[in-house]
Chains A and B, each alone.
Chain A
Amino acid sequence: MKRRTLYMLLVAAYLAFIGISFVACYDPGRQMGRSLAYFAFEMLKILPCAFILIGLFEVWIKRQTIEKHLGRQSGLKGHLLGILLATTTVGGLYVSFPMAYSLHHKGARLEVIFTYISASAICRVPMTIFEASFMGGKFSLVRLLVSIPLVVVTSMVLGRFLEKRHYAVMAG
C-alpha cells in the first residue's frame, strides 16, 4: 500500500474514533478531539500563507541567486545567511521543512539547509523575545551562543557526509 493511502486511512480511522467518542461521551476521545481541532486551526492559520510564499519564491527567485549565496561556493557566509533567513520563520520546524526543500531545489547546499532548519527551531525572533521575557536574557543568550556554533558545525559535517554519499533529497 502506498504511504499516502496508509496515512489517509489512519487519519480517517482517528476521525471516526473522535466522532464516536463525542456521540458516546467517551471523555479521553473528546479531549483528543478538542486538541486536534485546536492544533488543526493553528496550522490552518499558518500553512496556506507559508505555501503561497514558497510558491512565489519558486517562481520569482532566480536559481543563480540562491546558488551564489547559499550554494557550493557560499562557505560560512551561506550558513550565516541561512540563520538570518531562519530568524523570520513563523510556526516551527514543520514550516521550515518545505521551505528548506525549496531552497535546496533552487541550489542551496545541503549543509546550509540543515543549518537553516535547526536555526528556524532555535532562533526565531518573536519566540526568542518571548523566551527571554519568561526565562531571563541570560538563559536565552547562553542557549543561542552554545547552540548556533554547534548547529553550524554539525550541519557541515552531516551535509558533507551525505554529499559524499551522493544523497539525493526526494521529491516533495
Chain B
Amino acid sequence: MRYLYWATAVALAASLITDRQKTWTALRLATKKLWKILPAFLVMLVAISVTLYLIPDALMLKVLSNPRPWISVWTASLLGSVALIPGFVAYPMCGILHARAVPYMVLSAFSTTLMMVGVVSFPVERGYFGTRVTLMRNLVSFGIALVVALVTGLVFGEVTL
C-alpha cells in the first residue's frame, strides 16, 4: 500500500514542477471522474457489507470443507464470486483450511473466483463497460477459475481423469 502513496506523491511533484497548469487539469479530471463513479462505489460498499453479514465465516468454513470435492468446487466458486474479501484475509484463511484437509482444488476455485469474478463490484464495472460486457467478462472469468481449479487438482493428485 505504501508504494501507492510514494508513486502518487512523486508523480504529482514531478508534474507540478514541469507544468502547473497541466497538473491542475489532471486533478480536476481526477475529481470529476471519481465523482461520476462514486455512487456505484457506494453501492458496492453496501453490497459488500450485506454479503459479509449473510455469509458469515462459519458458513464459509462449513461450505468449503464439504467432504465431496466436486460439490465443494462448485460451491467454493459461487462463494468466491459473491464475496469480496481482501487477499490479506482470504489467503491466511485458505492456509488454515488447507491445514484442515480442504483440497487445494477447492481453495483454488475459491481464491481465483474471489479475485476474478466480482458480483458485488458489478455496479462499478457496469458503469464503465455496460451490462452485457460485464456479464460476459465475469462468466468467462468464472470458467477460467474452474479450469484453474481442475488443473490444480490434477497437479496435486487430488483428482484423476
What residues make up the interface of A, taking CB atoms closer than 8 Å to B?
A: 3-4, 7-8, 10-11, 14, 28, 31-33, 35-36, 39-40, 42-43, 45-56, 58-60, 90, 92-94, 97-98, 100-101, 114, 117-118, 121-122, 127, 130-131, 133-135, 138-139, 142-143, 146-147, 150-151, 154, 158, 162, 167, 169-170, 172
Since A147-B112, A169-B128, A172-B128 are in contact, a sample of 20 more A-B pairs with Cβ atoms closer than 8 Å, ordered by chain A residue number, is A7-B43, A32-B53, A54-B33, A55-B27, A59-B29, A92-B86, A93-B115, A94-B41, A100-B128, A118-B144, A121-B116, A127-B87, A131-B87, A134-B92, A135-B94, A142-B152, A143-B111, A147-B116, A150-B147, A169-B130
CB-CB < 8 A to A133: which residues of B? 91
Cβ of B78 within 8 Å of any chain A Cβ, yes or no, is no
A127 to B40, CA, bound (A): 25
Q: Is the interface of A mostly helix, strand, loop or mixed?
A: helix
| B interface residues, tally (CB under 8 Å) | 74
CB-CB < 8 A to B148: which residues of A? 142-143, 146-147, 150
Assess whether B91 is in contact with A130, with CB atoms less than 8 Å apart.
yes
Determine the residue in chain B with the shortest Cβ distance to A151: B144
- From B58-66, B67-75, B119-127, the one touching the partner chain is B119-127
CB-CB < 8 A to B29: which residues of A? 54-55, 58-59
Evaluate whether A59 and B26 lie within 8 angstroms (CB atoms) in the complex, with A169-B128, A172-B33 already known: yes
Evaluate whether A35 and B26 lie within 8 angstroms (CB atoms) in the complex, with A122-B115, A139-B108, A167-B133 already known: no
Assess whether B43 is in contact with A53, with CB atoms less than 8 Å apart.
no
CB-CB < 8 A to A33: which residues of B? 49
CB distance from B112 to the nearest CB of A (A): 6
Q: What total count of A-B pairs have CB within 8 Å?
A: 200
CB-CB < 8 A to B49: which residues of A? 32-33, 35-36, 39
A118 to B140, CA, bound (A): 10
CB-CB < 8 A to B125: which residues of A? 93-94, 97
Determine the residue in chain A with the shortest Cβ distance to B34: A51
CB-CB < 8 A to A59: which residues of B? 15, 22-23, 25-26, 29
Assess whether A143 is in contact with B129, with CB atoms less than 8 Å apart.
no
Partner of B39, one of A4, A170, A172: A4
